[in-house]
A = this chain, B = another copy of it.
Amino acid sequence: MAKETEELKTLGITVKKSDDMPEWYGQVCQKAELAEPSVIKGCMIIRPNGMQIWENIQAFFDARIKTYGVKNAYFPTLIPESFFKREEAHAEGFKAEVAWIEKKDEGGERLALRPTSETIMYDSYSRWIRSWRDLPLRINQWCNVFRWEVSDTKVFLRTREFLWQEGHCVYETEEECEKETKEYLQEYVRVAEELLAFPVLTGKKSEHEKFAGAKTTYTIEALMPDGKALQMGTSHNLGQHFAKAFGIEYVGSDKEKHLPWQNSWGISTRMIGAVVMVHGDDKGFVLPPRVAQNKVVIVPILFDDTKDKVVAKCKELMHELAEFNPILDDRIEYNPGFKFNHWELRGIPFRLELGPKDLEKDSVVFVRRDTGKKEFIKTSEIKKKIHHSIDEMHGDMFSKAKKAMETNIVSVKEFKEFEEAVKDRKLIKAAHCGNFDCEEQIKQKTTATCRCIIEKEVSKEDACFNCGEKAKYFAYFAKNY
């Protein structure tokens, strides 16, 4: 036992989440085998436990966007330099982050690794779209993208390569475009709330923070337990900026040529990082049950004389609970305590323990990962119990995360209060003038950035907390990842 206890210490998380969150985060990602940094700075290896989460996000979201008529495609990773240059704001915004390859195109042109695919896709769109019959055009791709980050990289949260989806739609009218831009954002809210069990703020980005080349950017922002905001997904109304730059035109039912309206929208593997930070605890990872690939682990309590019977019963349970993809941990070289820690670290939502006494009583011990609460459940009831607990645990995790977010929001009117609140790692709601330079000044002075703006609540009396000018909107500010 002494040796195993020793082994547990290094295998388990050695720091409290509240004491040192960056260290805790790195340990959970590594020890729960979600992801690890590559030898190449800023790149990550997504291990099977992390990849399963992404695949379940994919399945959930892909089914949703198909109901809008979105179809998947795949465009080349390599983008010619001249494409980037066509939309000025876009080119300027991505300039610093683009990685180029050594080989040139046949014409001698430089080729970039895509940081996002607007330019290469819209060049094709300009050939594919001829008439109003070709619209709306709704295309999505699941792929890898590259952004040569220079600041601190961290698995899932900020890496030079990550996985994402990017949707790119084209519409006849501005109204349709704006409507769907917001609807795809709402689908991101569903991913966060209904699948990953945490709440998000939704709103517009300020002029300062919007996507390079967009008319309007909508965002979902999650609050991490260290008070930093994490941008989770964005949906951009691109207006006609790219249509102009790439010569996308269609002949309307009026036989006249028109410029169409476009949007683009994306979520990435960054979402997995949010799941880790929001839900994890000092024992390790906690998987929201709906996104968990393996929802249940079964740990038999083994004694020499009853071993065969107990394992046989566990195998019966495996069969009965197949829809939850249960794991049977019948390894003989580890004791139950070791196994409990092993699966708690990896965040499996439900544990069933079954020993000879349980067998006699025809029951199992049922343990929820987030609360650690133990219950004795009749074997005949266990399937129903798990079904019920999936929604219950999801609801409890969501409520807890929601409360954490709400209690961390403060409203301020003056810069002094704002400064204090930034130090206290709060999510700060304040009236703002909407001025680009004023916002830049706030960022320089406090390192807090504008996460999103809410236009409807502002009144004539409200003044910018920083410069005192007439407020244009209310906005949320926070430090961010």
Partner of A73, one of B45, B72, B113: B45
A100 within 8 A of B: yes
In the complex, A457 has a CB within 8 A of chain B: no
- B101 close to A113 (CB less than 8 A): yes
Q: Which of B55, B73, B76, B101 contacts A51 (CB 8 A)?
A: B73
> CB-nearest residue of chain B relative to A120?
B38
A148 to B101, CA, bound (A): 12
- A152 beta carbon closer than 8 Å to chain B: no
Q: Is the CB of B45 within 8 A of A161?
A: no
| Residue A220 interfacial (CB < 8 Å) | no
Query: Do B101 and A45 touch (CB < 8 A)?
Result: no
Q: Are A41 and B105 closer than 8 Å at their CB atoms?
A: yes
When the two chains form their complex, are residues B102 and A38 in contact, meaning their CB atoms are under 8 A apart?
no
Cross-chain contact A77 with B144 (CB below 8 angstroms): yes
Q: Does A123 contact B (CB under 8 A)?
A: yes
Shortest beta-carbon distance from A110 to chain B in Å = 9
Which single residue of chain B is at the shortest CB-CB distance from A113? B101
Is A244 an interface position by the 8 A CB rule?
no
Minimum Cβ distance to chain B for residue A108 (Å) = 12
On whether the beta carbons of B46 and A73 are closer than 8 Å, the reply is yes
For A80, list chain B residues within 8 Å (CB).
Answer: 39-40
- Please, how many angstroms separate the alpha-carbon atoms of A333 and B133 in the complex? 10
Q: Which residues of B contact A123 (CB under 8 A)?
A: 39
B40-A111 in contact (CB<8A): yes
- Closest beta carbon of chain B to A45's beta carbon, Å: 5
Contact with B along A414-435 (1 / 0, CB 8 A): 0000000000000000000000
A45 and B74 contact, CB distance less than 8 A: yes
Q: Does any Cβ of B come within 8 Å of A78's Cβ?
A: yes
Most-contacted residue by chain B among A40, A148, A331 (CB, 10 A): A40
- Nearest B residue to A55 by beta-carbon distance? B72
Tally chain A residues at the interface, Cβ within 8 Å: 47
Which residues of chain B are within 8 angstroms of A113 by Cβ–Cβ distance?
A: 101, 113
How far, in whole Å, are A51 and B143 apart by their CA atoms in the complex? 13
The answer to whether A103 and B148 have CB atoms under 8 Å apart is yes
Is residue A169 within 8 Å, beta carbon to beta carbon, of the partner chain? no
Smallest beta-carbon distance A124→chain B, Å: 6
A461 at the interface (CB under 8 A from B): no
Pick the residue among B48, B74, B161, B333 that contacts A76 (CB under 8 A).
Answer: B161
Q: Is A436 an interface residue (CB 8 A)?
A: no
Q: Are A48 and B75 in contact (CB under 8 A)?
A: no
| B43–A76 touching, CB < 8 Å | yes
- Check B78 against A51 for contact (C-beta < 8 Å): no
**A106 near B: Cβ within 8 Å?**
yes
Query: A51-64 CB contact bits vs B (8 Å, 1 = yes)?
Result: 11011000000000
Partner of A44, one of B76, B143, B161: B76
Q: Kindly state the separation between the CA atoms of A75 and B51 in the bound complex, as whole angstroms.
A: 10
Q: A101-B102, A144-B143 are in contact. Are A76 and B45 (CB under 8 A)?
A: yes
State the A residues within 8 Å of B (CB).
36, 38-41, 43-48, 51-52, 54-55, 71-78, 80, 99-103, 105-106, 111, 113, 120, 123-124, 133, 139, 143-144, 146, 148, 160-161, 163, 331, 333
20 CB < 8 A contacts A-B: A38-B75, A40-B76, A40-B80, A40-B105, A40-B111, A41-B105, A43-B78, A45-B73, A45-B75, A48-B71, A51-B71, A51-B72, A51-B73, A51-B74, A52-B72, A76-B161, A99-B102, A101-B101, A113-B113, A133-B333
